[in-house]
């Protein structure tokens, strides 16, 4: 489908979904975003839903300003996936051992490595830039000065919530490895610190929503945030790279006789800021629950822990600021999901998937998410499908 345009305050709101299906609070958030003095354009993805300040599933292009709350507290959260040489015939009927081995190798939930991962010890892992990256830690805001060791130990760990590690099959029976995670606690602390700073600045005092507080170009506060933001985005990317390398090591050991090989890893952020140029202007583009989908860009759009995911290639639609959805999107809050569903529902909705089936993950039940097929149908002018995946193992924190 193409987009539907609805009136905004300073810019129109382009929506890749039926506005009538979007909850009222989310629509008001979009109008609030469109009222910002620095706004250049606003695109809304089909997985749109209520967020903090800014809606999840929105692409916010601003001139000379960025909103830290719109980026969110999981800076650089995103996906990685890789196709393997394994096929469905190589997998055992009982996948519980494989799931257990993954959980042993990669800490989940609030877990972290007892000792920091040494990238040189992981077979095939590209260590380029590792030392330079960590040397920049001391240049981050002093608010996180004491968090270096924790950040080191959490590098290569999953987290909780909607983060996951999966073994999937595509339509041809090929096995894929996929994971979803971000910048862990260090990203959260950096985000919360800068959100607090932004809210205190005089130019933000009269905004319709203080959660939309921004930093303005050529100010010390903006420079500090940009430095920390881009470091955290790199942390998230490296975190996924370490996890994927550990994941591949597990699979290679478990299927040693098959001599597993791997294609090039696909990786994409979906909570981040990028410097891009549109309409002859240099802009700061915040994708809050959206991936970059420039012409030829590969991306990953997951559904839920029981419905599968899509590998996509971007079509370069500039009306959407070269973006697409980051997933199916929630249709109900976590608390609402817990009220509506129980463990029995979770067992039924994750039939055939080796995964947790307990009360601790009921809020991640497929029924709490929008139908991924409908979300994909609403963005055929944004991406083309390369592969459709269905998970057979799902690890969650």
Which residues belong to the annotated binding site for GMP? Answer: 162-166, 270-271, 302-305, 309, 326-329, 396
Residue 383 bridge partners (DSSP): 314
Please list, residue by residue across 321-359, b when 16 or more beta carbons sit within 10 angstroms of its beta carbon and e when fewer do.
bbbbbbbbbbbbeeeebeeebeeeebeebbeebbbbbee
Q: State the residue for tokens 């996509």.
A: 312
| Helix (H) or strand (E) segment spanning residue 232 | helix 220-254
Q: In sequence order, what are the residues at sequence separation of 6 or more whose Cβ sits closer than 8 angstroms to the Cβ of residue 82? A: 176, 177, 178, 244, 248, 262, 263, 264, 265, 266
- Residue 137 to residue 76: CA distance in whole angstroms: 16
Is 326 noted as a catalytic residue in this protein? Answer: yes
Upper half-sphere CA count for residue 48 (Cβ side, 13 Å): 30
Upper half-sphere CA count for residue 51 (Cβ side, 13 Å): 27
Residue numbers belonging to the annotated binding site for Mn(2+): 74, 163, 180, 270
Q: State the residue for tokens 């430095």.
A: 227
Question: Pairing between strand 281-288 and 56-62?
Answer: antiparallel
Please list, residue by residue across 3-35, b when 16 or more beta carbons sit within 10 angstroms of its beta carbon and e when fewer do.
beebebeebebbbbbeeeebeeebbebbbbbbb
The active-site residue, picked from 40, 194, 326, 351, is: 326
Q: What single-letter DSSP state applies at residue 330?
A: B
Residue 68, class by beta-carbon neighbours within 10 Å (0-12 exposed, 13-18 middle, 19+ buried)?
A: buried
Q: If we measure between CA atoms, which residue out of 310, 84, 271, 246 comes closest to residue 161?
A: 271
Give the residue numbers marked as catalytic. 326
């Amino acid at each position: 489908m193409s987009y539907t345009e609805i009136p905004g305050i300073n810019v129109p709101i382009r929506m890749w979904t039926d506005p009538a299906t979007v909850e009222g609070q989310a629509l008001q958030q979009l109008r609030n975003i469109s009222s910002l003095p620095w706004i250049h354009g606003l695109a809304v993805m089909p997985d749109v839903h209520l967020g903090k300040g800014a809606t999840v599933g929105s692409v916010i292009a601003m001139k000379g300003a960025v909103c830290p709350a719109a980026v969110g507290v999981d800076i650089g959260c995103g996906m990685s996936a890789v196709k393997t040489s394994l096929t469905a015939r190589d997998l055992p009927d009982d996948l519980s051992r494989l799931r257990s081995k993954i959980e042993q190798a990669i800490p989940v939930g609030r877990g972290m490595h007892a000792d920091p991962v040494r990238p040189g010890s992981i077979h095939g892992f590209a260590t380029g830039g590792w030392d330079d990256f960590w040397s920049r830690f001391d240049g981050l805001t002093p608010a996180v000065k004491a968090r270096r060791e924790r950040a080191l130990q959490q590098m290569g760990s999953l987290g909780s919530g909607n983060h996951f590690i999966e073994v999937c099959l595509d339509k041809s029976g090929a096995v894929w490895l996929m994971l979803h995670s971000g910048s862990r606690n260090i990203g959260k602390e950096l985000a919360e610190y800068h959100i607090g700073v932004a809210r205190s600045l005089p130019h933000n005092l009269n905004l319709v929503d203080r959660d939309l507080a921004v930093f303005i170009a050529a100010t010390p506060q903006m420079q500090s945030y940009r430095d920390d933001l881009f470091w955290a985005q790199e942390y998230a990317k490296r975190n996924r790279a370490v996890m994927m390398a550990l994941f591949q090591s597990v699979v290679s050991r478990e299927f040693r006789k098959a001599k597993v090989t791997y294609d090039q890893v696909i990786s994409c952020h979906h909570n981040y800021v990028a410097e891009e140029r549109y309409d002859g202007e240099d802009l700061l583009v915040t994708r809050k629950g959206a991936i970059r989908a420039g012409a030829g860009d590969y991306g990953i759009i997951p559904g839920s822990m029981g419905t599968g995911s899509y590998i996509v290639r971007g079509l370069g639609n500039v009306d959407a600021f070269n973006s697409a959805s980051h997933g199916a999107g929630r249709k109900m809050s976590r608390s609402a999901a817990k009220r509506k569903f129980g463990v029995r529902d979770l067992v039924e909705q994750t039939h055939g998937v080796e995964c947790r089936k307990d009360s601790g993950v009921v809020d991640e039940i497929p029924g709490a998410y929008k139908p991924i097929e409908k979300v994909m149908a609403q963005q055929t002018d944004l991406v083309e499908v390369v592969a459709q995946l269905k998970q057979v193992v799902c690890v969650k924190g």
